[in-house]
Amino acid sequence: MRYKSEAGQAVIFTAVAMVALMGFAGLAVDMGLMRYEKRAQQSAADGAAIAGADEIRNGVGGINLAALNAATANAFTDNNGGAACTDSSAVGCIGVLVNHPPATGPHAGQANYVEVLVTSEQPNYFMTLVGINKTTVTARAVATLIGESGTGAGCIYTLGPPGVGVGVDVVGTPTLNMPTCGIEDNGNFTTKGAKLDVSAGSIGVVGTDTNSGGGKVTCTAPGPCPTNGIPAVGDPLSYLNPPSVGTPIAFNAANPAPGTYSSITVNNTQVVNFPAGTYIVNGNLTINGGATICDQVGAGCSPTGTPNGGVTFYITNGGAVTINGTANVYLAAPSSGTYAGVLFYQDPNDTSTAKLDGTAQSYYQGALYFPKAQELDFGGTSLTNSTAAYTIIVADNLKVNGTATLNLNSNYSSLPGGVSIIENARLVE
């Protein structure tokens, strides 16, 4: 037998249950919207941090603007004067806060890192029923130009993946001395069958490392050395645009000048002092043993001569660079302009092997950019490269050969902003 009062209680319980269910449903809807908003803001923060870090090479002046522009490109334009939104901010507040160096986290106070917080005040819908009218959503990202494998910017980048190339390989018994910069190896780091002594700021390897030649591998940065299993790096100079190729002419060693050439050959008794500028080689660039080349002020070439405005050699049309081990090479890249810091630039469609050797006093100051070269053979029996203030190597695979102590320095003070031209900013937080 059912009483009328019992039926009324069922209605009350049902109504209360419905309110609770609607509250949970409302909370789920509002939280879902918040999660969606957080994902969008995180994309904006990531892009802003990377854009800001990319500007470190040009000085601090452009970091904030680059980050703000990147956030705007991701649909979050700051309207809070560069400050973070807080619980007291009005709905619709968007704050893009750029900190260089970061103010919080493991990289706080470190000038090679940029921190970005993207905040916003979002309205609630169902949660207003319990008095929560808005929610502050925050996304944070930190990016740097420093390599994945350690605390030093990279001097060597090998782009070929494991199984396709060896990454870094060794022939002979060379010593590689680069304690202030790192190796970023997308392939395998191997000294099998050779003895390599290497001192690097850091060594990061996507694949594996094999040292069965009895050499000594050390890093100045703390942590494992090499560090295996790092994420693969992209081409750090992919932003470069090739020069316009003109009608090729024959090269005259007695009267060199910037321009487009069908090939460049310097024979063993010749001395060629290249005037500053860009040399487009629509074929092979060959420096034979005994030849001397430089880019210096005044006549002649000397290991201690003063560089002129700098040279860039662009190799295209399937050409290859071959510089013999007994050649005297004193070359420096431009310190300003479109190809600041770029000494050799091989067409990314060109897979030709390159060989850069030289006598003990020879040096290559600048980027040796051979992104698709099946192999860059660098070193020789006597090349030390000591005079070069900086040397950056980018190739599909790198072979370090010879018996000399090969130095890769990282003094970028002559370049814009006093930093490396490597553009490989990455997220670290």
What pLDDT shows up at residue 27? 59
Closest CA to 161 of 405, 403, 396: 396
What pLDDT shows up at residue 372? 92
What pLDDT shows up at residue 285? 98
Q: Rounded to an integer, what distance in angstroms lies between the CA atom of residue 207 and that of residue 158?
A: 12
pLDDT at residue 327 above 90?
yes
At 291-306, the pLDDT tens digits run 999 999 988 899 999 9
Rounded alpha-carbon distances, angstroms, from residue 395 to 88, 236, 389: 53, 11, 20
What pLDDT shows up at residue 221? 73
- Show the tokens assigned to 218: 């050390």
What pLDDT shows up at residue 21? 54
Residue 53, helix vs strand vs coil? helix
Q: Rounded to an integer, what distance in angstroms lies between the CA atom of residue 20 and that of residue 24?
A: 6
Rounded CA Rg of the chain: 29
Q: Rounded to an integer, what distance in angstroms lies between the CA atom of residue 167 and that of residue 192?
A: 13
* Mean pLDDT taken over the chain: 85
At 91-148, the pLDDT tens digits run 899 999 999 999 999 889 988 789 999 999 888 766 666 667 788 888 999 988 665 5
Rounded alpha-carbon distances, angstroms, from residue 97 to 28, 109, 291: 29, 16, 56
For residue 25, what is the enclosing H or E element? Answer: helix 4-54
Please compute the mean of the pLDDT values over residues 330-351 and round it to a whole number.
96
pLDDT at residue 315 above 60?
yes
- Show the tokens assigned to 409: 């320095």
pLDDT at residue 206 above 70?
yes
What pLDDT shows up at residue 228? 85
Q: Kindly report which listed range (148-157, 219-228, 241-250, 263-272) carries the lowest average pLDDT score.
A: 148-157
Q: For the stretch 368-407, what's the b/e string if a residue is b when 16 or more beta carbons lie within 10 angstroms of its beta carbon?
A: bbbbbbbbbbbbbbbbbbebbbbbbbbbbbbbbbbebbbb
At 45-62, the pLDDT tens digits run 998 898 888 777 666 778
- Show the tokens assigned to 394: 């980018």
Stronger pLDDT, 364 or 185, i.e. the higher one: 364
Could you give the percent of the chain with pLDDT greater than 70? 85
What pLDDT shows up at residue 189? 82
3-state helix, strand, coil in the chain (%, to 5): 20, 35, 50
As a dihedral over the C-alpha atoms of residue 253, residue 255, residue 258, residue 260, rounded to 10 degrees, the angle is -60
Q: Rounded to an integer, what distance in angstroms lies between the CA atom of residue 55 and that of residue 35?
A: 30
Which segment, 32-36, 78-82, 144-148, 277-281, is predicted with the most confidence on average?
Answer: 277-281
Could you tell me where the DSSP H helices lie in 55-149? 63-73
Closest CA to 356 of 325, 319, 394: 325
* pLDDT band (50, 70, 90) for residue 184: confident
Name the DSSP class of 60.
G
- Show the tokens assigned to 209: 């490392």
Let me know: does 26 contact 127? Beta carbons within 8 Å. yes
Please compute the mean of the pLDDT values over residues 336-343 and round it to a whole number.
96
Q: Kindly report which listed range (79-93, 332-346, 414-428) carries the lowest average pLDDT score.
A: 414-428
At 25-39, the pLDDT tens digits run 555 565 666 787 888
Let me know: does 105 contact 91? Beta carbons within 8 Å. no
What is the length of the chain? 429
Backbone angles phi, psi at 294, to 5 degrees: -160, 180
Let me know: does 97 contact 107? Beta carbons within 8 Å. no
Residue spans of beta strands (DSSP E) within 191-291: 197-205, 209-210, 217-219, 227-228, 259-261, 264-266, 271-273, 277-281, 285-287
Task: Please compute, for residue 121, the number of CA atoms within 13 A of its CA located in the half-sphere on the CB side.
Answer: 16
Backbone angles phi, psi at 284, to 5 degrees: -90, 145
What pLDDT shows up at residue 12? 59
Task: Please compute, for residue 212, the number of CA atoms within 13 A of its CA located in the half-sphere on the CB side.
Answer: 4
Stronger pLDDT, 349 or 30, i.e. the higher one: 349
Distance of CA 357 to the CA centre of its chain: 25
- Show the tokens assigned to 65: 């603007």
What pLDDT shows up at residue 7? 53
Q: Rounded to an integer, what distance in angstroms lies between the CA atom of residue 155 and that of residue 159?
A: 13
What pLDDT shows up at residue 1? 46
pLDDT at residue 415 above 60?
yes
Please compute the mean of the pLDDT values over residues 327-351 and round it to a whole number.
96
